Amino acid sequence: MLRKSRCLEKWSRNEPVLGITLHLVDPVVCELASVMGFDVIWVDMEHHSHSIQTVSDMMRAARVGKSDVLVRPGKAEFMQAARLLEAGAQGIMYPRCNSAEEAKKIVVNTHFPPEGERGLDGAGPDAFYGSVGLEEYLQNAREETFLVIQLEDEKGMDNAEAIAAVDGVDVLFFGPGDYSLRQGFAGQFEDPRYWSAIEHVAKVAAKMGKVWGTPAFSAEHAASLLDQGARFITYTSDLTLIRKQFITIQESFEAKGFRF
């Protein structure tokens, strides 16, 4: 039986999903997160040097558990996005989209005809290596995969409604890091401009009937975002968690006379 999307199932019931970003490429980490029941694992190929083979191994490990895998290719890497779906991703996150025309390009490359122009293979992990019928495979690709469009700059925010109106765009995702950098308040997420941007994305998503999401920095922050209609929340990464724990270890041992 082909894999169903945990995220799409929850969104169909208007339930929130929680994702975690995994940068470490050992498949054990993906397997652990998936077995623990995180809704989605976000794998980043925009800023990291992972190969498709490496990400394929990570996704294979995640299939042991419950998690969807959402992969972010680089901007304009349209063919790469299609290959990631063939390798088993349930979702594609497209970065720094700033127009409806650009959104249409990623839709065309990640959807089979008649919605798009994605090429057909049907022999990869997403089709159980050709062991399912073509009709079932195409239906699963249409109904159980999703496209997340990131809004990360002023132009993208200005065109958010037109982007959301594109058929095949399932989720709007506000990227606070790049947005704050480009607006001159890098990383200052208490700035009123951050909350103004959140409000704008929330209003557009509600008007256009689309799911929206963004990273949360704490459970309390996530609750505030949920109150504004967000249904896709991501929180922290494996590298961040390890770094913070290393700092805690160093601080506790420094108090006993150790130096680093």
In which element (H, E) is residue 234 found?
Answer: strand 232-237
Residue 1 has pLDDT above 70, yes or no: no
Mean of per-residue pLDDT scores for the chain:
97
Number of H helices, E strands in the chain: 12, 8
pLDDT at 75: 97
Q: Would strands 146-151 and 171-174 be described as parallel, antiparallel, or unpaired?
A: parallel
Q: What is the pLDDT of residues 95-131, one digit of tens each?
A: 999 999 999 999 999 999 999 999 999 999 999 999 9
Asked whether residue 2 carries a pLDDT value surpassing 90, the answer given is no
Pairing of β 171-174 and β 211-215: parallel
Q: Read off the pTM.
A: 0.97
Confidence of residue 137 (pLDDT cuts 50, 70, 90): very high
Question: Tens digits of per-residue pLDDT, 146-176?
Answer: 999 999 999 999 999 999 999 999 999 999 9
* pLDDT band, residue 207 (cuts 50/70/90): very high
Q: Give tens-digit pLDDT for 18-72.
A: 999 999 999 999 999 999 999 999 999 999 999 999 999 999 999 999 999 999 9
Closest CA to 217 of 202, 199, 195, 196: 195
> What is the crossing angle of helices 78-86 and 100-110, to 10°?
40
- Tell me the domains of the chain and their CATH numbers: 6-254 (3.20.20.60)
Eight-state DSSP code of residue 143: H
**pLDDT in the model for residue 200:** 98
- In the DSSP assignment, the letter for residue 118 is P
Region 256-260: mean pLDDT is: 97
Contacts of 114 (CB under 8 A, 6+ apart): none
Give mean pLDDT, residues 71-99: 97
Task: Please tell me the distance from the alpha carbon of residue 115 to that of residue 157, in angstroms, as a whole number.
Answer: 25
| Contact predicate 107/167, CB 8 Å | yes
